[in-house]
Structure 1
Amino acid sequence: MASTLPGLLGLPTELLVSISSSLPNRDIKSLRLTCRRLFSTASLRLTRVFLSANPRNIDVFRSITDHETFRQQIVEIIWDDARLESRQRERYAGSYFLDLDNGRYYQFSGQCPRWFFNLVLASGADVDAFRYGLKRFPSLKRVTITPFAHVRLLTPLYETPMIRAFPPGFIYLIPHTWYVHSPGQRPPVSTRRNQLSEFEKDRYHGVRLVTRELAQFRHHNVTELIIDVNALLCGTSLLTGIDSTIFTEPCAEYNDLVTVLRRPGFRRLDLALLVGRQSYQEDWSASRSGLLRRALSEAPNIEHISLRTDETQKDSDDSGAPDRHFVPRKSIFPVDKWLCLRHFGLSQFLVRQNDLLSLLAALPATLRSVELSCLIFLEGTYRGLLADMRDTLDWRGRGTRERPKVIVGLPADSISERTIWVDEQVGIGVLRDAFDPLYERPNAEYFGQTIWAVAKKRPQPNSI
């Protein structure tokens, strides 16, 4: 007997499930509000949850941890570490005020709202919520920390609950807690950990908190730690990373990171380092101390490793002394201990062609992808490196499925968020935008050297 229900409701349940599975969560939420049948048929796909020192994000995080169905699905916590500062208060269109300490906006009615300063940090509510999540998310595998959730107005990197709660077109100051600088500048970072004040250290509040809690609380399943500064921002005006002074001498933050890497089954680390004044004034002390290599040696089962710095160019004053800035890659990467490695990524490092080629040759046979983006050559070129990889490495002789794929990223310029990526084609690559996943153009204006490369799949856009 044919269904007498009208339109969408007349479709079989299996077809309704298939249709709803292709919709974004925002549309599924609206669909579930229409009637009981669609409420029970269209299920939300919640695999990640946001957290920060912000009441709105904490409230939503807590609600999901207490939901018996949703909490079972969470595999990733994304920490928005762009902590909002009390001095950043904005009035919007004559009718709204934004309290950035609490992440709430208020409608203006003739009197300024009461301001509450640093309530979350003082109460430790974000710490408590994170601990609770580690206990309540049985499928949790990954923790991602980023300073760039808000980085472009109206098109944020991540639409956190706080950002989604703002009225349409809401204009506010973009917060930056981490040190962010442009090419040619040196952020004011001390070269020794014991010279830093607690205020400077707490710029990386989320990083310190996450690594500490993962180290101290052993009953969790987190095997992936990602410092997300957006790979598509390679070489552009938004340069940042975590404070690399933790690798100049032992400290609490270093010990916590080592404990996390030492965890059995740890499989992925994406690490972005702010080298600051260490590079040309202190001869790369964070790389030469041996602490970084020692930390990476604690993860013998790692499958994915990606390291980047905020460096963008050679020092023109030291063109006659390149050895001063050269740190052999094998003194940083313990490739002899990585027997399961499948992905290797290196971005914005000073390299020599022969040294990097030697490192690539030493990577294990399990390797399936390599990303080399925005490298700064003290000796050699991209073209020479890729030609040597083609001619000297044994990758071409491997089976199709065992052959590593290579992706190369080059900065389009120093002021935009667009990067040239050579991946699925031979030639001059395509231009992609860090904050617009739909933007992709042939790189018709780039007349540089030809690069021979094949690549892994394009990173998927961040969507909820």
Structure 2
Amino acid sequence: MIFSYLDRGDMISLRATCSTLERVVPCNIDRVFISANSLNIQVFRAIADSELHRHKITEIIWDDARLPEVPEYEEVTSSDDDDDDDDNGGNGGNDDNNNDDDDDDNNDDDNNNDYEYYEEEEDHYGKYDYVYDCWDDDDDNESLCSSMPEWFTRRCLDGGPGGQQQVPYSNSIINRSWPYYEALLIDQRKNMQLNADIEAFKYGLQRFTHLKRVTITPCTHGRQSQPLFRTPMIMAFPFDFVYPSPRPWPYTGFDVTHVDAPWAPNNGHSVEYAYRHCQCRFLSFTAFHMKYKDKRCQCQLGEMSASVHDEYRSYWRGFSLVTRALAECEQDHHVTELTIGGRGIWTGVNCHVFDQKCQEYDDLVSLLQRPGFRRLDLDLNTFMIQRDDDGWKSYRSGLLGKALAQAKDLRHISLRTTTDTSDGTCLYIDPKDEFKKTFPLEMILPFDQWPNLQHFGISNMLVTNSNLVALLVALPKSLRSVELSNLGFAGIGGWWELLNEMRTKLDWRMRPVRERPEVHMTVADLYFDDLEIGYYVHIDDTVASFMYGFGGNPFRKQPVEMVEAHGECMDSLPRGTVGTKRDFLDPSFSARYGFPVENRINR
């Protein structure tokens, strides 16, 4: 029938037309959401108890974006300066999004329609008793309520971390929002104390017979008035409800104290951590800063008590609980895919999980070594690990590589980080130390263990052309897609050289068209002046034309004298080239993007 060609949103509208179509048109839902919210939990359990729907579920999305109960990042004003670096580092920066490739199944165009059909299905499950009875449309106060905390007002107006302009809301809207938000906080606190969310998750592992993927993300709420997923909780919000954007995971941003603490506890003792609070990220485009960045961006050290360290680790509560549940309940599920998001909003799982063995590491390995495990999307918050002694402690420990080597049946691997890169350069590393700081990619990516690999992706990593090309040559014939995004190159050589070597040294051009790997290259994101957090620009079409057609190399070859003058590869972006602008927080968004023609180093 014709409805088999309709997308999920159109199917929902068609079912709402009449009772006959409601019976005839299938209600297709294949994923569910869970978080520390009673409505999300009730809907999750209702689906798990439904014989009609529970067998259709293939994915659980754990929404780890908890509502903030206190200011979660510092207010940045024009009067702020570096003298404000006090002992607040234990609060950590907080996170933002993620997400996946623009062709990822998690991020299709149906994100906003997953639970709309529940409005039609209420008669089957009864009305949910989860209601916040505190919304008054007739309230029209002109002044802000005195009982409302000041931070709530500020955070409602500032657009959230990474926001570049304030959002204008009237006092009456904010006043009406606070009691609703307060009720949400009470409910969230109760569910976290009772662990109601993880208990429901374990129940779902037993009930969803075709479950294959688990996604953990802090990006659910997206931007203000533009959620990534419309969960039952978000769909229940009143029309003009405003609230602070929740970002519980520490994130890389201009407006936070950048806290880099160990993951493993110190037997009840305090732990030493590094923190950075400066405006260095604003200066990343200037030649002066590129030359003197190491002198201007010194991290400071602090000490964090055991209790504060536990609170710091709790930011990643969802990651810890979900991996533990998947390990404990391994007989109850058939999960073969794990997605841990956040890179789209400059966050991810704490990379120090891989510094030394811990419970979370063991639980992750337990899942990876399951027969048939086939997909891992891992976004890591790498803080400033490139500044550690020889650099990259979390990689050099070998634990990440050993964990991935357990996944013998892996088909898809994507490793994205928050390491700062721009124009083919890894920031905050002295060019003289680049080769000392590099490491072979085989140390963390054991490709010899993945004979059936179909997708390989890395983002924001320091590489050498020779090592990366040698790795690509060794990839199996089963490879169908590659992501090489926002890389930093050590020594002479950059994007231009990489593409040239890929074209000449790989046999991909000689393969049948259907067997040629698609190459995805993101070369612009947060470091571009006109790109807000979440947006990025790729040049996939231009790269494909060069790799498999007759197009030219979109990048600019670096004059030797420029490289020698700056000690690194500068301004290798495809000046004047047209790319495609996409949005991690709105996968349906796509727009033409023209790169600036002027030389960015002379701005």
TM-score range, shorter chain: 0.7 to 0.9
Q: Supply the AA of the counterpart residue of 2:35.
A: S
Aligned counterpart in structure 2 of residue 145 of structure 1, from 211, 216, 239: 216
Moved more, 266-275 or 432-441: 432-441
Whole-angstrom CA distance in 2 between matches of 1:206 and 1:320: 40
Q: How does 1:54-93 map to 2 (within 5 A)?
A: 54-87=37-70, 92-93=173-174
Q: How does 1:30-429 map to 2 (within 5 A)?
A: 31-33=14-16, 35-87=18-70, 92-98=173-179, 100=181, 103=184, 115=186, 118-182=189-253, 187-191=258-262, 193-194=264-265, 195=271, 197-219=309-331, 220-229=333-342, 233=344, 238-282=345-389, 283-313=391-421, 314-316=426-428, 318-379=430-491, 380-414=493-527, 415-416=531-532, 417-425=534-542, 426=545, 427=554, 428=577, 429=579
Question: Residue 86 of structure 1 contacts residue 100 of structure 1 at CA under 8 Å; is this kept in 2?
Answer: no
Whole-angstrom CA distance in 1 between matches of 2:589 and 2:397: 41
2:109 maps to none
Moved more, 160-169 or 124-133: 160-169
CA RMSD of aligned residues (A): 2.4
Percent identity of paired positions between Structure 1 and Structure 2? 39
2:560 maps to none
Normalised by the length of structure 2, the TM-score is 0.65
2:89 maps to none
Question: Residue 52 of structure 1 contacts residue 80 of structure 1 at CA under 8 Å; is this kept in 2?
Answer: yes
Deviations 1:118-173 (A, max 9, x none): 10111111111001100000110100111111120111111111111111232110
Q: Deviation of residue 407 (structure 1)?
A: 1.1
Q: Deviation of residue 20 (structure 1)?
A: 7.4
Q: Which has the higher helix share?
A: 2
Q: Deviation of residue 317 (structure 1)?
A: 5.6
1:440 maps to 590
Secondary structure class of the residue paired with 2:20: helix
Whole-angstrom CA distance in 2 between matches of 1:185 and 1:97: 24
Q: Supply the AA of the counterpart residue of 1:260.
A: L
Whole-angstrom CA distance in 2 between matches of 1:317 and 1:344: 26
Question: Residue 252 of structure 2 contacts residue 383 of structure 2 at CA under 8 Å; is this kept in 1?
Answer: no
Q: Supply the AA of the counterpart residue of 1:94.
A: N
Secondary structure class of the residue paired with 1:215: helix
Deviations 1:85-126 (A, max 9, x none): 33375683433435557638xxxxxxxxxx456101111111
| CA distance 1:324–1:342, change in 2 (3 Å) | same
Secondary structure class of the residue paired with 2:468: helix
Q: Supply the AA of the counterpart residue of 1:395.
A: W
1:456 maps to none
| CA distance 1:387–1:87, change in 2 (3 Å) | same
| CA distance 1:263–1:20, change in 2 (3 Å) | closer
Over 6 Å off, 4+ runs:
183-186
2:3 maps to 19
Q: Supply the AA of the counterpart residue of 1:443.
A: Y
Question: Residue 3 of structure 2 contacts residue 11 of structure 2 at CA under 8 Å; is this kept in 1?
Answer: no
Moved more, 86-95 or 325-334: 86-95
| CA distance 1:373–1:189, change in 2 (3 Å) | same
Q: Deviation of residue 435 (structure 1)?
A: 2.9
| CA distance 1:48–1:432, change in 2 (3 Å) | same
**Structure 1 regions of 5+ residues with no counterpart?**
1-13, 105-114, 450-464
**Structure 2 regions of 5+ residues with no counterpart?**
72-151, 154-171, 266-270, 272-305, 546-553, 555-576
1:453 maps to none
Q: Deviation of residue 358 (structure 1)?
A: 1.2
Deviations 1:23-64 (A, max 9, x none): 534x65565455431221122210111111111111111111
Q: Deviation of residue 362 (structure 1)?
A: 1.4
Question: Residue 179 of structure 1 contacts residue 240 of structure 1 at CA under 8 Å; is this kept in 2?
Answer: yes
Q: Relative contact order (alpha carbons < 8 A, sep ≥ 6): 1 or 2 greater?
A: 2
Whole-angstrom CA distance in 2 between matches of 1:374 and 1:387: 17
Whole-angstrom CA distance in 1 between matches of 2:255 and 2:504: 36
| CA distance 1:184–1:289, change in 2 (3 Å) | farther
Normalised by the length of structure 1, the TM-score is 0.84
Question: Residue 54 of structure 1 contacts residue 102 of structure 1 at CA under 8 Å; is this kept in 2?
Answer: no
Question: Residue 430 of structure 1 contacts residue 441 of structure 1 at CA under 8 Å; is this kept in 2?
Answer: yes
Aligned length: 416
Whole-angstrom CA distance in 1 between matches of 2:178 and 2:226: 21
Secondary structure class of the residue paired with 1:279: helix
Deviations 1:252-297 (A, max 9, x none): 0000000000011000000011111322135211000000000000
Secondary structure class of the residue paired with 1:97: helix
Q: Supply the AA of the counterpart residue of 1:424.
A: D
Question: Residue 85 of structure 1 contacts residue 101 of structure 1 at CA under 8 Å; is this kept in 2?
Answer: no
Whole-angstrom CA distance in 2 between matches of 1:51 and 1:150: 13
Whole-angstrom CA distance in 2 between matches of 1:21 and 1:130: 32
Whole-angstrom CA distance in 2 between matches of 1:21 and 1:61: 27
